[in-house]
Amino acid sequence: MQSDMKTPLLAGSSSDASKPLPRCPGGPVIGIIGSGDFSRSLAIRLVACGFRVVVGSRDPHRIPRGMFPDGVELRSQREAVDGAERVVFVAVYPEHYYTLVGLRELLAGKVLVDVSNATRLNSGEQSHAERLAELFPESRVVKGFNVISAWALQAGAYDGSRQVLVCSDCSHSKALVLQLARCLGFSPVDLGGLCGSRDIEEAPLILFPSWGGPILAVFLLFLFFYGYSFVRHILLPYLDRGENNFHQLPLVTVNETLPAVALVTLALVYLPGLVAAVLQLGRGTKYKRFPGWLDRWLCRRKQLGLLSFLCTLLHAVYSMCLTLRRAAGYTLLNAAYQQVKAGVEKSWVESQVWRSDLYLSCGILGFGVLSLLAVTSLPSVGNTLSWREFTFVQSGLGYVALTLSIMHTLFFGWDFAFFPGAYPYYLPPVYLLALILPCVVLVGRLLLALPCLTSRLAKIRRGWESERHRPPQ
């Protein structure tokens, strides 16, 4: 039995072409209707993979020389369809499909690959591929290659996504296009019949589908902490004492908000895992599905982690820029003047030195570990790790990063939380609010590390069920 690589991709055409194309050694002839950017990129990729290509244009004489690679035949649309052995890519805009009706007889029995995209989401209209199938009932319409950009076609399957979504009502034609996608170096995904073409056409219009919830959560957290800092440090002092601190809004308030958002977001990465573990312990089985919201939360942990890293990175940059502010220079001069006026020769405070060094050290270490988590989230890096290594980095070192971040915040706060002056207008500091959820997550993880709970959870995840889930004898 021949392997897939030795099996011919395309069968030769049995029809007699009135104007046959020159037959040169190589792969089968594939036709492309249209001479735009996508057609050019597709032709480059097909020729690089050993196929012969004929491109059909309404006016081939207007195509500049050198636009298509050597070996690509530039013909009229009729000649291109006539010369194609079996597969013809339709690379024209859907509103021009009606201009191809005159080629209906030549396209009969051939595979038409529709590469068009939808213009808007949830239109409720018939898909372009279904309309093409109605226009050419004797052809075999396959939807595919529309999620691949022109750049990916030219560069090969080395940058971005490798997936090619394919659907068709003809299983043989779909199998042909799936094999063609593999020959071009991509990973085809069979999405069933042509009824799924609407989803495939709308796929390129969806912007970061898995990032919407995490971005919204981080944005709301930022608004909450920023608004809280604004009310506590700027608005209430201004209304109460006429103190003008509005100059803190662009830098100081943002820098106070970013670490709080980063810490809470990092806690949100590991909180759903704890909730899932508690549910499994309470149910005594792993075979009962989690609620939908928990499933979606578990699938968004990577995005939350990367957003937490982004906030941490911005906090580090903002912190380094604090000393560059003119306000910082004025504050330092005022403090030096007050010290000289008070006759203080040495302002060294041992406890404050320890405090600053400890919280900076924990912050740097936490940022380093969080950077490692972000790097291993990249597919090119994560794919080189075994499952145990990946789990160790993302789970084990993740809790290390969370612990270091909590320590960084605690050392920053030091013992100020125990003084009444830390609660102006009876409002607690921002860092105390940011510590609540991370501490809950860390304590919950320590409780689950108890031997009695760990062993029971391990048994459940290996298939053990409590007696109430076992069928009666």
Together in a domain, 165 and 252: no
Together in a domain, 302 and 393: yes
Together in a domain, 176 and 315: no
Together in a domain, 197 and 229: no
The CA distance from 362 to 365, in Å, is 5
Together in a domain, 456 and 434: yes
How far is C-alpha 384 from the chain's CA centre? 19
The CA distance from 366 to 353, in Å, is 20
Together in a domain, 259 and 157: no
Confidence (pLDDT) at 16: 37
- Across residues 54-58, what is the average pLDDT? 93
Together in a domain, 193 and 234: no
Together in a domain, 240 and 172: no
Catalogue the long-range contacts made by 275-282 (C-beta closer than 8 Å, 24 or more residues apart): 277/448, 277/457, 278/444, 280/457, 280/460, 280/461, 281/453, 281/456, 281/457, 281/460
Instruction: Answer whether residue 11 is part of any domain.
Output: no
Q: Which of 156, 172, 205 is the last residue of a domain?
A: 205
pLDDT of 25 over the 50 cut: no
Instruction: Single out the residue of 81, 71, 112, 114 nearest to residue 15, CA to CA.
Output: 81
392 lies in which domain range? 211-340+348-469
- Across residues 333-345, what is the average pLDDT? 78
Amino acid letter at 242? G
Instruction: Answer whether residue 463 is part of any domain.
Output: yes
Provide the number of structural domains found in the chain: 2
DSSP string, 194-210: GGGHHHHHHGGG---TT
Together in a domain, 405 and 272: yes
pLDDT of 1 over the 50 cut: no
DSSP state, 127? Answer: P
Confidence (pLDDT) at 443: 96
Least confident of 13-22, 198-207, 366-375: 13-22
Residue 63 · residue 87 · CB < 8 Å? no
Together in a domain, 186 and 234: no
Instruction: Answer whether residue 24 is part of any domain.
Output: no
The CA distance from 388 to 127, in Å, is 44
Together in a domain, 418 and 313: yes
Q: What CATH number did the domain enclosing 111 receive?
A: 3.40.50.720
Q: Which of 205, 237, 258 is the last residue of a domain?
A: 205
Instruction: Answer whether residue 22 is part of any domain.
Output: no
Least confident of 23-37, 94-108, 123-137, 256-270: 23-37
Instruction: Single out the residue of 45, 50, 37 nearest to residue 8, CA to CA.
Output: 50
pLDDT of 19 over the 50 cut: no
The CA distance from 164 to 166, in Å, is 6
pLDDT tens-digit series, residues 207-261: 788 899 999 999 999 999 999 999 999 999 999 999 999 999 999 999 999 999 9
pLDDT tens-digit series, residues 172-183: 999 999 999 999
The model's pTM:
0.75
Least confident of 130-139, 266-275, 372-381: 372-381
Confidence bin at 43 (pLDDT 50/70/90): very high
Q: Which of 205, 239, 263 is the last residue of a domain?
A: 205
Instruction: Single out the residue of 204, 212, 189 nearest to residue 148, CA to CA.
Output: 204
Together in a domain, 196 and 247: no
